[in-house]
Amino acid sequence: MPSAPADHHPTKAGRTPRAAGLSSFLTRVGSAAAGLALVAPVVGCSADAPAVATPTAADAAVVAQDLGDALAAADSGRASALAASEAPAVAQRLAAMAANVGRLHLRGITVAPGQPPGPDGLVTFTVAWRLPGIDPDPIPTLLTLRLVRGSDGPRILTVGSRGQTPLWLLGPVDVRRSHAAVVIVEGAAGPGIDRPPAVAAVRTVRAVLPRWSGRLAVEVPADAASFDAVLGVPHGERAADAAVTTTFGDPATSRSSRVVLNPDVFSTLTPLGRRVVLAHEATHVAVDAAASSAPLWLVEGFADYVALRDVDVPIRTSAADLVDLTERRGPLDRLPAARAFASSDGRLASAYQASWLACLTLAERDGERSLVRFYRSVDRGADVTGALSRDFDLDRRRLTELVARRVSTWAR
Ligand SMILES: [Zn+2]
């Protein structure tokens, strides 16, 4: 997907202290793949379906109003009362949503119905919400509710979702707040993952980008299914990633970034690996990488530059895959192309490491501030060739040679 840069870290990296390439970001996730795995199947009425009245558009409007009021008031009792009597799990989930509103202090909550319900009673509702201090604009999230019409009005029989679904709409969450971060932990997430080093990640980023005053929002799913749901991707599509940075809401306009941890991978990392992954992702958040048109080698290399800047691991160790590749295939002859970050073979780690070394080389050549200025100007649309020449008196070929020469001193 050339228009949706996606990076994966190699499986083996998760078990080693080697940090480069551990993490990833996902731009504009959701539009193409969203909902494939998550939309509740539309089931036609069978001949022996029970004779219940089909819900109407008016019923959907009533549910939207009642659910919106219950959520906005963080009223669990009122929310759970909207569930059909034969659906206790739905009652629990609706109650959890309302309780989560209170825990997260969500604001601006509204619920609006989409198309009128069909014979199956399914209606897609748009829940708009905003996490204060993180989201400048309301975030629309789609819930697919199956309505039934009982004697006392419409009720909710099932709850499904389409596209990206934040944890607070999936079930109970715990919230850990600090001056620098909000960490949203799905209730069942175990020890090992429920306290990611978010504050340390922010501190690491601010050492390089002191003007970043934003706060970090981290979603910590309990399992792979929730991880997929938060990203709105088909099952397993991001299974190799330790963490993903994504945006919530309309990918074309969203200013709301989230770091989403993959519990199956993140929980296997060493404390150092976790620190590096979060700092890498926090860098993406700080520079709004999801909206950047800069080449991926620069986006990923810069994030690894920041994340690895103060890590006490020899450079040669952090570049081990690139050293291996150089020994087998010869020296690096170009900076990694976008497709290198979408691959799943062993060259992926090398792509990260080459990108990181390119940024490290630039910072060492003319100072970290020059690297930041270069990143910012390319991020704003400046031509890479022109900016490299202006800021470092280099072109891509020469920068590649400098990286290759450095790696060659480590190769056999
Ligand atoms: Zn990344």
Structure tokens at 145: 């509710």
Distance 19 CA to ligand 1 centre (A): 12
Q: Among 23-27, 232-236, 238-242, name the one with the lowest average pLDDT.
A: 23-27
pLDDT, residue 17, reads: 26
How many domains are contained in the chain? 2
Q: Residue 249 — left, alpha, or beta (φ > 0 → left; ψ -120 to 50 → alpha)?
A: left
pLDDT, residue 31, reads: 26
Distance 335 CA to ligand 1 centre (A): 16
- The pLDDT tens digits for 152-197 are 899 999 999 999 999 999 999 999 999 999 999 998 777 778 888 9
pLDDT exceeds 80 at position 26: no
Distance 285 CA to ligand 1 centre (A): 10
In this structure, what CATH number is given to the domain that contains residue 352? Answer: 1.10.390.10
Q: Residue 330 — left, alpha, or beta (φ > 0 → left; ψ -120 to 50 → alpha)?
A: left
In a domain, 41, yes or no: no
Domain finish residue from 114, 142, 162: 162
In a domain, 204, yes or no: yes
pLDDT, residue 111, reads: 98
pLDDT exceeds 60 at position 28: no
Please check whether residues 180 and 307 belong to one and the same domain. Answer: yes
pLDDT, residue 24, reads: 37
**What is each CA distance from 225 to 249, 332, 357, in whole angstroms?**
20, 39, 35
- The pLDDT tens digits for 79-98 are 999 999 999 999 999 999 99
Distance 127 CA to ligand 1 centre (A): 29
Q: Among 27-41, 138-152, 219-233, 265-279, name the one with the lowest average pLDDT.
A: 27-41
**What is each CA distance from 390 to 193, 294, 340, 355, 374, in whole angstroms?**
44, 17, 27, 20, 9
pLDDT, residue 129, reads: 98
Please check whether residues 184 and 201 belong to one and the same domain. Answer: yes
Structure tokens at 85: 């009597």
In a domain, 153, yes or no: yes
Please check whether residues 80 and 196 belong to one and the same domain. Answer: no
Distance 336 CA to ligand 1 centre (A): 14
Please check whether residues 106 and 200 belong to one and the same domain. Answer: no
Band of residue 52 on the pLDDT scale cut at 50, 70, 90 = low
Mean per-residue pLDDT for 110-139? 95
Mean per-residue pLDDT for 113-135? 94
Distance 324 CA to ligand 1 centre (A): 22
pLDDT, residue 265, reads: 93
Q: Among 35-49, 295-309, 366-380, name the one with the lowest average pLDDT.
A: 35-49
pLDDT, residue 225, reads: 95
Please check whether residues 274 and 372 belong to one and the same domain. Answer: yes
Distance 189 CA to ligand 1 centre (A): 24
Mean per-residue pLDDT for 369-398? 96
Q: Which of 255, 230, 233 is nearest to 4 (CA)?
A: 233
Please check whether residues 157 and 178 belong to one and the same domain. Answer: no
- Residues by chain with Cβ below 5 Å of ion ligand 1: 24-25, 300, 303
User: 21 or 354, which is more confident?
Assistant: 354
In a domain, 47, yes or no: no
> 216-220 and 257-261: which strand pairing?
parallel
pLDDT, residue 54, reads: 86
pLDDT exceeds 60 at position 359: yes
Please check whether residues 123 and 261 belong to one and the same domain. Answer: no
- The answer for residues whose C-beta is within 8 angstroms of residue 328's C-beta and 6 or more apart is none
In this structure, what CATH number is given to the domain that contains residue 81? Answer: 3.10.450.50
Q: Which of 215, 214, 111, 102 is nearest to 168 (CA)?
A: 102
Please check whether residues 267 and 122 belong to one and the same domain. Answer: no
- The answer for residues whose C-beta is within 8 angstroms of residue 188's C-beta and 6 or more apart is 171, 222, 223
In a domain, 192, yes or no: yes
Boundaries of domain holding 346: 11-33+170-408
In a domain, 5, yes or no: no
Distance 327 CA to ligand 1 centre (A): 26
Please check whether residues 205 and 309 belong to one and the same domain. Answer: yes
Distance 300 CA to ligand 1 centre (A): 5
- The pLDDT tens digits for 333-357 are 999 999 998 876 668 899 999 999 9
Band of residue 71 on the pLDDT scale cut at 50, 70, 90 = very high
Please check whether residues 151 and 194 belong to one and the same domain. Answer: no
Distance 284 CA to ligand 1 centre (A): 7
Distance 282 CA to ligand 1 centre (A): 9
Distance 22 CA to ligand 1 centre (A): 8
Distance 94 CA to ligand 1 centre (A): 35
Domain finish residue from 104, 129, 162: 162
User: 127 or 316, which is more confident?
Assistant: 127
Distance 367 CA to ligand 1 centre (A): 22
Please check whether residues 183 and 328 belong to one and the same domain. Answer: yes
Domain finish residue from 162, 194, 216: 162
